[in-house]
Structure 1
């Protein structure tokens, strides 16, 4: 075996360890996503306390996203990720331990949820830079699509199983399983042989955290394609947030699918994730064939058309087809934008650039889309009106992408280089 073949084999082995760590970690986190609200409701009987869990878990990306990216670019990513996984395991273990001692309170669960999500923000920042370093930018689209597909399958499969488990056993002991998965993730990351970070003069230069944050923001603003994809991606995420917020009332009032005891609702929940799995399969081929600029210009209007088709459906089977198409197009846009940012970002800026992009999309776009949809629905337009508001935000993003010449110029540059 020559050195190049041996290196490729080593990358594949390490990527499998990395992939296993991420899938195990995501699966464990999804258990807690189901179990924590149920646990708080059992402790308090209060919808307010229960909704506070979701708020506590959503805040950290907005509060710490920028500083997490700056810190993750300064330190050894492997060491940081292992430490964060172990700390997460300890925090999670405190919940079943306090429950077993009859000392668990809703405040404990709320603070633990906030702290765990804060640790995840820093882990996610390091993770953004770790994957390009591990596999190399030439393999990045394929590797990230594989990762996205595997974690999406977990997102489809785990919540229903966790919901069934919560119905059979108490939620607190179930959270102990998430503590085990966090430790397993740490051990798998520790087993990776190849480095997850690189040393450059930039990483060793003594600069302030604020200067580091500014460098990441400057890169996003200075790179016209990254800037446009990030801004358009925020409107795209807002439309996804509107769908998440309106799914249950839209199913109930428009499709005749009851909010409880109706298996058709599970199909509506699952089809978005199925679209994500399909996108993970096709993005590497589409990206290689079309180029990333052309793929973005194609996928964005496809996402809008699928959103409008969903909005117009009145039968649950038609909605399943439309939402699966929407989930596929939506995930193509997300995968394409993330891998492009990772490919063009210098290694010493990976965490800052990609964490900022995630913060705008997931931390700003999705909750804003959900809030706008909810406000429109409550104002009298109903669930269909809320979805229409989300589709309108998406249409604004599509119009910006097509009216701005940036992506078209990048598309022509790609054709000329071929």
Structure 2
């Protein structure tokens, strides 16, 4: 009996780890949808709405490098549990203030920043915990399962949250994230296996951070694809910041009580799901470099189609197309980077790339869109994001190494 229990323990530990990860991601996505809607209902201001989008994306810029290095040094179990507690404690103040009638837009912005900061450190620890938990022999299979399940959550939850936020108060919806954070903390505490590996070296945090940065900078294709990813994240930041005011003022879709808003929230996720199905075939046929060069202008074209839409149905179709092209480019860049990156640098390099894309690109895009919207309306905000996307297209096609790799793949 004891032998059976010992044999089953790793499987139970991985199941707890996986469920905790999915709960954390799901709760974070609920907040990404609910908080901008909540602020727009409070203020009716595209500027405040973009401020929330910035607050949710900015922590990766501020703390991304530090989080990756810290997570390699501390007890990852304690770090993840502590971050879940911070998320739950911060978010619960929003529905409480809403019910008391004292909720303000600055309160929501501060909580958005706090919750996403905690998620950055959780995410960094989570990256490093998996190899320690399952071992190198099972790492590929475990990561494939984790990535597949996480992708499904990332595709389903925004649409479901959009549907719920159209029927119930967004402040009430944030209680879901409080519950998921608490559940994640309990599951991580229940894991018996090791989540941290003692380090034999005695490098400093600065050197750990520098090693990830140097790898990204010295590999020309990875450097270009990471920078291009930042421009794509900027366009995505503009989309997140402008979706609610654009739907309201241009498409005639109310910010509450209108199920068409759920359709708009779901469209991008539907496109991402299509991209996840198409990517393996496209990569096998075209190669990563050719796919990047072809996908970038297609993504820009789809963004333009969404921008020109004036009715919610064509807007949904354009958003699906854009989500497909956008996600194909981004996932292609991520998988290429993972194939090229040495195992010992995976956490730091991936966290650094996330910092540049989500931490720099997304809040910059949201800020740019918010400023343009204040001056000329939400359509101008979306156009500003499209302009940054154009920069990414030019950057990719102007990189000789990327073009040369694409020609080599074509010749083969």
Relative distance call for 1:115 and 1:339 in structure 2 (3 A) is same
Question: Partners in 2 of 1:265 and 1:71 — Cα distance?
Answer: 40
- 2:395 corresponds to 1:408: no
CA contact (8 A) 2:238 2:385 kept: yes
- List per-residue Cα deviations over 1:130-175 (Å, max 9, x = no partner): 45775535775675244222222112213432563437xxx47x65
CA RMSD between the two structures: 4.0
Is the 8 Å Cα contact of residues 145 and 281 (structure 1) preserved in structure 2? no
Partner of 1:399: 394
In 2, distance between residues paired with 1:244 and 1:347? 33
Higher mean C-alpha displacement, 79-88 vs 116-125:
79-88
**Per-residue deviation at 1:69?**
1.3
1:242 aligns with 2:238: yes
Alpha-carbon offset, residue 265 of structure 1: 3.2
The alignment status of 1:206 with 2:202, answered yes or no, reads yes
Task: State the distance in 2 between where 1:165 and 1:12 align.
Answer: 38
**With structure 1 as the length reference, what TM-score do the two structures score?**
0.78
Q: How far apart in 2 are the matches of 1:38 and 1:245? A: 10
- 1:319 aligned onto 2:315: yes
CA distance in structure 2 between the aligned counterparts of 1:237 and 1:143, rounded to whole angstroms: 23
What's 1:157 paired with?
Answer: 160
Q: Deviations for 1:209-236, whole angstroms, at most 9, x for unmatched residues?
A: 1222111111110111221111111111
**How far apart, in 1, do the equivalents of 2:131 and 2:330 lie?**
17
Name the structure 1 match of 2:68: 69
Q: Does 1:22 align with 2:21?
A: yes
Partners in 2 of 1:375 and 1:97 — Cα distance? 31
Alignment of 1:373 onto 2:369: yes
Residue 188 (structure 1) shift: 3.6
Partner of 1:364: 360
1:222 aligned to 2:222?
Answer: no
Residue 397 of structure 1 deviates from its aligned partner by 0.8
Residues of 1 paired with 2:64 and 2:221: CA distance? Answer: 22
State the aligned residue count. Answer: 400
Structure 2 alignment gaps of length 5 or more:
1-6
The question of whether the paired residues in 2 share the 8 Å contact of 1:73 and 1:349 is answered with no
Once the two structures are TM-superposed, the CA of residue 325 in structure 1 deviates from its matched residue by 0.6
Which of 346, 351, 355 pairs up with 1:350?
A: 346
Tell me, yes or no, if the aligned pair for 1:32 and 1:178 is still in contact at 8 Å: yes
Residues in 2 aligned to 1:362 and 1:259: alpha-carbon distance in whole angstroms = 25
Contact 2:166 2:256 in 1 (8 A): no
Q: Is the 8 A contact 1:145 1:335 kept in 2?
A: no
> Are the aligned partners of 1:31 and 1:162 in contact in 2 as well (CA < 8 Å)?
no
Evaluate the alpha carbon distance shift between residue 388 and residue 53 of structure 1 in structure 2; reply closer, same or farther with a 3 A threshold. Answer: closer
For the pair 1:329 / 2:332, whether they are aligned, the reply is: no
* 1:122 Cα deviation after fit: 0.8
Aligned partners of 1:57, 1:287: CA distance in 2, in Å?
A: 31
Of 259-268 and 149-158, more deviation after overlay is shown by 259-268
**3-state DSSP of counterpart to 1:207:** coil
Superimposed CA distance per residue, residues 247-289 of structure 1 (whole angstroms, 9 cap, x where no aligned partner): 3444445444455554333322221122122222332333344
**C-alpha distance in 2, partners of 1:357/1:254?**
34
State whether residues 271 and 320 of structure 2, in contact with CA within 8 Å, keep that contact through their aligned partners in structure 1: yes
Q: Does 1:302 align with 2:305?
A: no
Q: Deviations over 1:397-418 (max 9, x none)?
A: 11221221222333456678x8
What are the superposed Cα offsets for residues 358-408 of structure 1, whole Å, 9 maximum, x if unpaired?
12222221222233233334444x444433332222122112212212223
Give, in whole Å, the separation in 2 of the partners of 1:11 and 1:335. 29
State the alpha-carbon separation in 2 of the partners of residues 375 and 119 from structure 1: 27
- The offset of 1:180, in angstroms, is 3.1
Q: Does the 8 Å contact 1:25/1:181 carry over to 2?
A: yes
Gap change, CA 1:88 and 1:393, over 3 Å in 2: closer
Go from structure 1 to structure 2 and tell me whether the alpha carbon gap of 1:411 and 1:73 turns closer, same or farther (over 3 Å shift): farther
What TM-score does the superposition give when structure 2 sets the normalisation length?
0.79
Alignment of 1:283-298 (within 5 A): 283-298=279-294
